[in-house]
Structure 1
Amino acid sequence: MQEGTVSCGPVPGPVYLDHNATTPVEPDVVAAMLPFLGGEFGNPSSSHSCGTRPRAALARAREQVAALIGGSAGDVVFTGSGSEADNLAVRGTVLVSGVERPHLITQRTEHPAVLLSCRALERLHHADVTYLPVDENGLVDPADLAAAFTERTVLVSIMLANNETGALQPVRELAGLARARGVPFHCDAAQAVGRIPVSVDDLGADLLTVVGHKMYAPKGVGALYRRPGVRLEPLVLGGGQEHGLRAGTENVALAVALGAAAELVAGDLSDGVPDRTRELRDRLHARLDVGLPGRVALNGPSGARLPNTLNVSIDATNGHELLTAVPELAASTGSACHSGSYEPSPVLTAMGFDAARSLAALRLSLGRGTTAEDIARAADLLVARAGG
C-alpha cells in the first residue's frame, strides 16, 4: 500500500487528499500492463500466435472487471474513459430508441459527461430532458422520479456517488421505479466502484460506468456494463470490436491495467479498507472541528456517503485561496475556475448553498494509502492557515 504523501513529479509531493480527482497508479497495476507495452504487442483480433496472449489478457481483464461489479464478462465494454462510457450509455440508448422526441430523466448534480450528453441530445435530436432537483444533502427524492416518467421516457441516468460530496443516491429504489416502467437505468458509478461494494444486480442497473483512474489504474481507460438485452447505438463505428459497440483495436495494456486494479480494490473491500478509510476521514473532520470551533460545516449527508470523502466549508475562508496558501496539501475546492475567476460549484448551488459557503468549500478525498500521519498533518496545516 502506498503512502498518502505521494510524489506528483520529480520531487517528493504534498499530502495527497485528492483521490476523487485521480488516484496514483499502483505498482502492481503498472507491472501487469508493462508486458503489453513491449513484447506482447500483438493485435488481440489476430488469429496468429502474436495475438494469442493479448487476446487472453483482454478476456481476463474483462472477467476481473465483471467480478468487481457482479456482472458477466460478456457484458463489459472497454472504453477510453468514464466520460465515453457515459456518452455511450446516454446517447447510445436514445439514438437506438426510435422514439420521436425521446424523453430522458437525470438530476442536477450529475457528472458533466451525462449532463452535456443530455444537452446535446436536446440540441441535436429534439430530446426532452427532466433534470430532477436534489435536497440539501444532494439526494434525489424517489417521488420526484416517479412523477417524471412519460410515455416517451427511454432512459433514467442517476449517479451512485457524487464526486464532490460523496453523497450516495438511493439508486436501488430509483432503478426499481424505472424497471417497473420498462425504462433502462444507467448509473455512473465512477466514484463508488472500489470504494464501496457495488453489484449491478443489487442496484438494478442496466448500464453502469466504471473508470480506471479512480481506482488506481492509469487514465484513459474505463468500462461500461450493459445488461443483456439492452440495446445501444455505438458512438464509434468500424471493425466491430467490443461487441460491436466500440470500434478500434483495443488498448490491451490499459485494459489489463483496469483488470488488475479491479482485482486490487476487490481485495481492499474484503480486507476492511473502506472501514479504515472512514475512520480516518472522520478523524480529519473531528480535528478540523476542534481546531476551528464553530466554523466547519459539512456539505452533504453525514451517513450516506463514500467512506473516503469529506466536503466541508470553513467559515470566513475562500477554498481556493486557502489551498493556494497550503502547498503542502493537494486537495480540491468547491469552485470552478472560468477565465481566471472562481464560481460556486454547481453541485453545492443545486443543494441550496449560497455563494459564500460554496466558495469556502474543500473536498478532501482519501485513498487506500492515506495514513493517520497524513490526516494529522493535513488538519494541522489547514487549521494553522485558516485560523490565522
Structure 2
Amino acid sequence: MRILFVAGGTSGVIFGIVPLAQQARNAGHQVLMAAPENCMGTVNTAGLPGVPVSTRTMQEALIDRRGVRVPIPEDLHERYIFNGRTFGRYAAACLDGLLQLADRWRPDVVVGGALAFAAPLVAAYAGVPYVKQAIDMGEPRTIDLAAAAELGPELERLGLYEMPRTDLYIDICPPSLRPADAPDAQMMRYVPYSTQRPVAPWMHRRGDRPRVLVSAGSRVTPDSDFDILQGLVEKVGRLDVELLVAAPEPVAEKLRPLPAHVRAGWIPLHQAAPTCDLAVHHAGGNTTMGYLSYGVPQVLVPYLPYCVDYSVRLHEYGAATMVDPADDSADNIAAVCAEMLTTSSYHDRARELATEIAGLPTAAEAVSAIERLAGSRATV
C-alpha cells in the first residue's frame, strides 16, 4: 500500500506524525512524506523519503493573497481565525505540488497532521481515504472553519463545496483530557520524537538539586521568539535548581555565557525527560505531550493562543499550572515553579496521565486501522 503523509510547515508539526509514518514503513508499506522544501532535512533525518511540495515557508503565509501582511489580532477568537486563514493559505501554496505528486505516485491513502489542511483536498482529488492524525491535544474548531473559508477558491477548483470529511481520525490525547464533544477516534499512544544528537552522560544523570527544563520549542531562532526563551531562562534561573534549556544550537549560543548550573543546547526530549522534576515552556503541542508521556509536571505559558484550550484542561486536571502570558513576571513564574516542585499532587496527577498514555494502542495498531480502512474502500 502507498501511504502519502502530508506534513505541516514547521519541524515541530512534522515531529508529531513521524512515529506513525515510521511504523507504516516498518510494516512494509511504501511511504512518502510531503512537506515544504525548508523541512526536508527534518523529514530525511527521520529516515523517511521526503518530497518537497512548496518553496514557501509558514512565515510567508502571514501575507494574504493581496500581498498584504496581516496584523496579528489581540482578541482570542479573532486570533483563532487569523491562525486558520494562515494555515489555509499555506495549504493553498502546497496544493499544486501535492496534486502533481498524486498524479505521479497514486497513493492509496493520505494521512495528514491536524493542521495540514491540504491533505483532505489531495485525498479527495485522488479519490482515496483521508486519515487525520492529531498532533497534540486538539485545536479550537474555529481554526478549521477559518482554514476552510480561506481555501474557498481551491475547493471550487476541485469541484468541492465543503472540506472533505475525515474517514479515520487518529487521536493521541489521553482519554481523561479529551473534550466531551471529541469525535470518535482510533486512539494511539504518543511517542516523543525529535532530531537527535550524541547522548552526553549528564542528559540521563541528574545532580542533587531539582532538575527543571525550559523550552520555547523547536521553532525559536536567534531572531524569532528568542525573547520568550530568554525571559523564561532568566525567571526560572532564579531558583536553586539544575536548569536545562532545550533550544537549537544557534539559539543556545546566543544565550551564553550561562551560570554553571545551567546547560543549554539541543536536548532530545526523551533523553532528558525521565530525569526532570518540572518542565517550563510555551505550551507547544509536542513539548506538552512529550513531558506528559513521561509523567513530568509542567508550567504552561501559552504564548500561542491555540494552545490555551488544552493548557486549561491540563491545568484543571492538576498535572500542570497554566500561567497567562500577561502574568509571566519573574516573581510569579518562580513562585509557581517553587510550589510545583514541593507539592506531590502535581507529580501524582502527571504520572496518572503517563500511565494512561502508555496504555493506549500502539502505532502498529493505528497502521492496522489504516489498512482496514483502505481494504474496505477497495472492496466497495
Pair in the same fold by TM > 0.5 = no
* Structure having greater relative contact order (Cα 8 Å, sep ≥ 6): 1
Normalised to the residue count of structure 1, the TM-score between the two structures is 0.31
More helix per residue: 1 or 2? Answer: 2
TM-score (norm 2): 0.32
